[in-house]
Chain A
């Protein structure tokens, strides 16, 4: 493997993290939180130092990159990013245990939003801002950000993009990868600004608006209040719910809208399935929980908010669905798996994968009835090739194995079956809250250090969609073929 390019790119990511950390540092300065300021300053030094340490020894590197280098760069970058990103929490003493701080950071970067801080409101503003900012960075991907701003001289960066962007098929919007990355980030940035402004106009304070917009954009879900979004006015809840839907949709469609190409957007099956699922589950849950609230607006709002929050894998909440009837809880549990559209910032299995699997199952059944028939899986009128089909089913198997193993590994904890299972599922799908003790009103603070490490790994595996990490940690991958 070409180690030099791997270390060089990872070093660049560290430098980029150092630059990004300036923002929370500034927030801490504004609010005069000196302890947070020093912790950020030390972290910036550490990130920059580590970056230089990786970059400086490499004077020449071979530009040729294959998929294994892409996978390794992404995996290493994300692990180091989380380890360094956890330092501010640790140095400022706001999360005294380093393993807990790493859990919190991984949960941030992977846009999970699972927290183990019992009392969120006690944290300083700068630290809270960094916590939500990690969502924004991780949502679209830091390597994609790097591609958009740092000129790379290789046409082979596609391997990195494919490893970092979730979804069964990763394509480009425009011929050049740099331009594609730029367009994606511009749309992302624009939508984030739009949400901040709408929340501001709606009467939310500036700091709260920014933090919540960052959390929604990355579909992360770190709140800054004990009751998440529940304490804000109903119209603000509607705005956030709306944006959770927006960030759960494939970003390619926004680009098509910008180009005024309406037809492919309207004909996008994934969009319709996503919308349909939201409407149907919202309706069923709203009817189911109506007796609890006795008010149509409130039950629809709570139902819609929770459904969009779980489907887009954000994890904000306005109501504790632990208290809801079992039908609603069952539906929420199923939604934990599904996730948003491919090419969005949402996690989960992704609608398009489910569509492909569902269609290929139907085809298989038909094939058994007519053994000689030839049937192809089509999405939006296009044939899905066999490699993709195969990859999707392999991914599903790995995904199930991952859920089962994580669930087993943490099941010694003194929690109920419901809590442990949903904690595993929720972390792997990057949702955040689960049922039972890890529900919207609870948090992950009860878990032991061992379990927090397991769950951190689970979140990373879920965000990068398993394959890159497995391929990167394979020792055969590290055999040096570099000249």
Chain B
């Protein structure tokens, strides 16, 4: 598929990298020749130097035959205009980064219709939602739900020995009697799709699928109670913090927000709900954190502009027995280091955005047949969870799973049929209109048929 990325900042570069990995023909527009040179040296893409709203530049980049235009410059207006012009030139789908809530939430319906923008992405809002989701189930490193909202995949890190460790997976299900399926295990940078004889051990990062009700019981049995966080401390008054606090306050949590700049504090206090506690002070000061009751908080979220600071104060919070510490890290290369320090929940806004764009791109690529409905990356992007809708074009409808010749490193994590979640066994089948959850490591799936050899 031909894709055009306008603006090659942090988010743009991540999107380019992911699009190239997926094998798309990518053209990049940026007005800085040095940025263009750098990106064309690293990735197999064509670079055009110029403005994304300039007719000639867009024509040179071949916007008229492009399937997907992604405008991620730093200016909302420029992104919208770029999408509009390239749409007019003949680009089929356009995605714009629109950060200003005024455009993105209040008037988006109107703008979308008038400008022909297919999707608006607001990285900060997306990141805030991701953090919010994680906070709802603080003992999981990551939780994602699928289309019917009654089935989820949960990532946890086995910090101590529990009922899950030490015995083969086959026996765990007999022992625990719950309906769940362990579908991916990360051990020492390697991701395994485990078979029945796989034995988990301390320190593994595992991903399992389960219906929502079952997941709760299971977490309780293995000693990871999922008490929802109520008292939350947020450091840094960025846009993400604003969205996050809004979401948290709306669902009735107590939020203490610490921000260094007094102007920002005033600004935030005028827009946030009155119950929010906004504290003007340096969030990196341990004294202040302890004074504001770090010991009694359920969760700690570090959202300052500096990755290193976020990592370090989260580590500090963890050391003070805060049950859940989340750090925002923008630079991907820092993530593994942060994990080595013991942080299991890390939010990387540009990864979140890029994953969303990839999901869109993959759905576009195969808009007929059994296409991708949802796509999540788990295990530090080393494995993917995809939700497909089984269409009538899938040849093996009605065939028991044990008779399907699946590719290596692929596992069927669940089937959702008529709003009911099924943890599949070898005797289950795919029926038409089923939603099939597939976990894959190392292969790229576009269609449900791709799971077959």
Q: Complex Cα distance A175/B40, Å? A: 10
How many chain A residues touch B (CB < 8 A): the figure is: 18
For A156, the chain B residues whose CB sits under 8 A away are 41-42, 44
A175 and B45 contacting across the interface, CB-CB below 8 Å: yes
Q: Complex Cα distance A174/B47, Å? A: 10
Q: Which listed residue, A155, A157, A158, A174, touches B20 by the CB 8 Å rule?
A: A155
Q: Complex Cα distance A385/B47, Å? A: 15
Q: Complex Cα distance A156/B43, Å? A: 6
Interface core residue of A157, A175, A178, A385 (most chain B CB under 10 Å)? A175
Known: A155-B20, A155-B43, A174-B46; 16 extra A-B contacts, CB below 8 A, are: A154-B44, A155-B42, A155-B45, A156-B41, A156-B44, A158-B44, A159-B41, A173-B46, A174-B25, A175-B45, A175-B46, A176-B25, A176-B44, A178-B44, A179-B25, A387-B33
A235 interfacial by beta-carbon distance below 8 Å: no
Contact flags (1/0) for A137-163 with B, using CB distance below 8 Å? 000000000000000001111110000
Q: Which listed residue, A67, A157, A387, touches B44 by the CB 8 Å rule?
A: A157
Q: Complex Cα distance A176/B47, Å? A: 11
A366 interfacial by beta-carbon distance below 8 Å: no
**Chain B contacts with A in 30-64, Cβ cutoff 8 A:** 33, 40-46
For B25, the chain A residues whose CB sits under 8 A away are 174-176, 179
B42 and A175 contacting across the interface, CB-CB below 8 Å: no
Q: Complex Cα distance A168/B20, Å? A: 27
A225 interfacial by beta-carbon distance below 8 Å: no
Q: Complex Cα distance A482/B276, Å? A: 55
B13 interfacial by beta-carbon distance below 8 Å: no
B26 interfacial by beta-carbon distance below 8 Å: yes
Give 4 closest A-B pairs by Cβ, nearest first.
A155-B44, A175-B25, A175-B46, A172-B46
A177 interfacial by beta-carbon distance below 8 Å: yes
What are 14 residue pairs bridging A and B, where the CB atoms are less than 8 Å apart in the complex? A67-B41, A154-B44, A156-B41, A157-B44, A158-B40, A171-B46, A174-B25, A174-B46, A175-B27, A175-B44, A175-B45, A176-B44, A179-B25, A387-B33
For B33, the chain A residues whose CB sits under 8 A away are 385, 387
B136 interfacial by beta-carbon distance below 8 Å: no
Query: Distance in Å from the Cβ of A329 to the closest Cβ of chain B?
Result: 43
Q: Complex Cα distance A154/B27, Å? A: 17
For A177, the chain B residues whose CB sits under 8 A away are 44
Q: Which chain B residues have a beta carbon within 8 Å of chain A's beta carbons? A: 2, 20, 25-27, 33, 40-46
Q: Complex Cα distance A156/B234, Å? A: 42
For B42, the chain A residues whose CB sits under 8 A away are 155-156
A-B contact count (CB 8 A): 35
**Chain A contacts with B in 372-420, Cβ cutoff 8 A:** 385, 387
For B27, the chain A residues whose CB sits under 8 A away are 175
A175 and B41 contacting across the interface, CB-CB below 8 Å: no
Task: Return the chain B residue nearest A155 by Cβ.
Answer: B44
Query: Distance in Å from the Cβ of A2 to the closest Cβ of chain B?
Result: 15
**Chain A contacts with B in 72-126, Cβ cutoff 8 A:** none
Q: Complex Cα distance A174/B20, Å? A: 14
Task: Return the chain A residue nearest B48 by Cβ.
Answer: A171
Q: Which listed residue, A67, A154, A159, A175, touches B26 by the CB 8 Å rule?
A: A175
**Chain A contacts with B in 176-231, Cβ cutoff 8 A:** 176-179
Give the secondary structure class of A's interface: helix
For A179, the chain B residues whose CB sits under 8 A away are 25
Q: Complex Cα distance A387/B32, Å? A: 13
Query: Distance in Å from the Cβ of B87 to the closest Cβ of chain A?
Result: 20
Task: Return the chain B residue nearest A172 by Cβ.
Answer: B46
Q: Complex Cα distance A387/B46, Å? A: 19
For A158, the chain B residues whose CB sits under 8 A away are 40-41, 44
Interface core residue of A154, A157, A385 (most chain B CB under 10 Å)? A385
Query: Distance in Å from the Cβ of B300 to the closest Cβ of chain A?
Result: 38
Task: Return the chain B residue nearest A388 by Cβ.
Answer: B33
Q: Complex Cα distance A173/B33, Å? A: 18
For A385, the chain B residues whose CB sits under 8 A away are 33
Q: Complex Cα distance A385/B20, Å? A: 27
For A171, the chain B residues whose CB sits under 8 A away are 46
Task: Return the chain B residue nearest A66 by Cβ.
Answer: B41
For B26, the chain A residues whose CB sits under 8 A away are 175
Q: Complex Cα distance A278/B258, Å? A: 73
Task: Return the chain A residue nearest B3 by Cβ.
Answer: A175
Task: Return the chain B residue nearest A70 by Cβ.
Answer: B41
Q: Complex Cα distance A385/B32, Å? A: 10
Q: Complex Cα distance A157/B27, Å? A: 17
Task: Return the chain A residue nearest B4 by Cβ.
Answer: A175
Q: Complex Cα distance A432/B126, Å? A: 64
Query: Distance in Å from the Cβ of A258 to the closest Cβ of chain B?
Result: 14
Task: Return the chain B residue nearest A162 by Cβ.
Answer: B41
Interface core residue of B26, B40, B44 (most chain A CB under 10 Å)? B44
Q: Complex Cα distance A137/B42, Å? A: 28
Query: Distance in Å from the Cβ of B227 to the closest Cβ of chain A?
Result: 46
Q: Complex Cα distance A157/B44, Å? A: 8
Q: Complex Cα distance A67/B2, Å? A: 27
Q: Complex Cα distance A155/B45, Å? A: 8
For A387, the chain B residues whose CB sits under 8 A away are 33
Q: Complex Cα distance A154/B21, Å? A: 11
Task: Return the chain B residue nearest A173 by Cβ.
Answer: B46
Query: Distance in Å from the Cβ of A175 to the closest Cβ of chain B?
Result: 4
Query: Distance in Å from the Cβ of B39 to the closest Cβ of chain A?
Result: 10
**Chain A contacts with B in 430-471, Cβ cutoff 8 A:** none
For B41, the chain A residues whose CB sits under 8 A away are 67, 156, 158-159
Q: Complex Cα distance A174/B41, Å? A: 15
Interface core residue of B25, B27, B41, B42 (most chain A CB under 10 Å)? B41
For B2, the chain A residues whose CB sits under 8 A away are 175
Q: Complex Cα distance A179/B26, Å? A: 12
For A175, the chain B residues whose CB sits under 8 A away are 2, 25-27, 44-46
